[in-house]
Amino acid sequence: MDMPVKSDSEFEGLLKLARDRSVDGRTRLVQSVGDLFFDTDKILSDRERSLMTEILRQLIHDVEMSVRLALSERLATEDSAPKELIQILANSEIEVAYPILRESSVLQDIDLIEIIQHRTMNHQLAVAMRDSLSESVSDALVETRNSDVIKTLLDNSGAKISAQTLEYLVEQSKTIDIFQNPLLHRKDLGSELARRMYWWVSAALREHITNAFNLTPEDLEEYIEDAVDGLVMGETAAGGTNKGATLASQLNQEKRITPDLLVQTLRQGEVTLFEDLFAELSGLRPKLVRRFIFEPGGQGLAIACKAVSIAKSDFASIFLLSRSARPGEKIVDPDELSGVLAFYDGIKPLTAKKVLRRWHRDPDFLFALKQLEVSQGSEHRS
């Protein structure tokens, strides 16, 4: 049997406060009802609980911020708190809403998604920090396209994120650096996505990838081989159509044409694919790239590599591997290597970019430039 909720004196006190229309009177009424609502020594009947909830609902907007905040903090951990009141508090200003959004178990996914879609970024951040989140709520947070909200979500180990959404965020991490570290520290990322990120993260995060996902250099090399194999599969399929240029264009749009990929492509003997990849990266015609590979000296290749900011060590690998594509003798003369590296060092990046732009307009300019550079080199050596 339910115990009475209040004594006669308590009842008279509430009636008196209810007649007081002032802000102070309404504030004290909410405080009194709240105290009775949370009084563990009293058992409320369903009717009494419903009545008190209605009083709080009607007066909640008329009381001071400190009272609403106190009520929010008390209701946040109450599993049996009235849902209607919880929804009102959750949609209030963030100071009041924060405890509810962070902790209340009364809010369902549909409530949280509604708040994410219609309230402020601070409300979204509070939701992203909840101890646990379903995939549907995580998707709603990602759909905000707010990088701070998404980073907070990624930092939350209690948030479930679907494989499809993780794959999307991995692609986004190419250009949004703040996603990279939290992504790589998520247990649900998986080694396949980690390997994909290897090519655009910092050296420190690359080391984390190899350690955290138990990947060896051989694993990563195999991944490159698979990528290259995937690119060249069906190269002459579909009526003999070469798909290399199309695939190279797609990779360039995704910023996946890296020095590592270029070197590995040559190492696998895929010279035609290298031509398409380098042509896409530099904006040059594949035929001109092919001329770079087969011409003696390697000055054209050096200029093009300098223009697209390929480091000297990577250029040296590309040069050596490209020599193996030429017919006949495949051993590189040490003097040829030292000469082209010295030539590479002497090229100013701005000059290389200007030459590259000229080649875009007039590919035949190559030989005149080459003769000019060689003669200048001879003058310097003499």
Please write the tens of the pLDDT for every residue from 324-345.
Answer: 765 544 566 677 788 889 999 9
The answer to whether residues 114 and 107 touch, using CB atoms and an 8 Å cutoff, is no
Residue 283 neighbours by CB under 8 Å, 6+ apart: 356, 360
Please state the pTM of the whole predicted model: 0.53
**What is the tens place of the pLDDT at every residue in 95-125?**
999 999 999 999 999 999 999 999 999 999 9
Tokens 């993780």 locate to 166
Residue 19: the pLDDT is 52
What do you get for the CA distance between the two ends of the chain, in Å? 110
Tokens in use for 241?
């159509």
Which of the two residues, 33 and 157, has the higher pLDDT score?
A: 157
SS3 8: helix
Residue 60: the pLDDT is 66
Average pLDDT, the chain: 77
Q: Please tell me the total number of residues recorded for the chain in this structure.
A: 382
- Confidence band for 371, pLDDT divided at 50, 70 and 90: very low
115: exposed, middle or buried (Cβ count in 10 Å: 0-12, 13-18, 19+) = buried
Residue 255 neighbours by CB under 8 Å, 6+ apart: 174, 175, 200
Q: How far from 312 is each of 170, 258, 279, 306, 347, CA to CA, in Å? A: 29, 14, 19, 8, 11
Q: Which of 243-265 are b and which e, b meaning 16 or more Cβ less than 10 Å from the residue's Cβ?
A: bbbebbeebbeeebbbbebbbbb
The residue ranges of every structural domain in the chain are 144-215, 220-381
Residue-wise DSSP of 318-354: HHHHHHTTSSS--SPPHHHHHHHHHHHHH--HHHHHH
Residue 10: the pLDDT is 52
Residue 17: the pLDDT is 52
**What is the tens place of the pLDDT at every residue in 179-214?**
999 999 999 998 888 888 877 777 677 777 778 777
Residue 185 neighbours by CB under 8 Å, 6+ apart: 208, 212
Is pLDDT of 219 > 90? no
Residue 232: the pLDDT is 45
- Confidence band for 306, pLDDT divided at 50, 70 and 90: very high
DSSP code for 3: P
Average pLDDT estimate for 45-50: 64
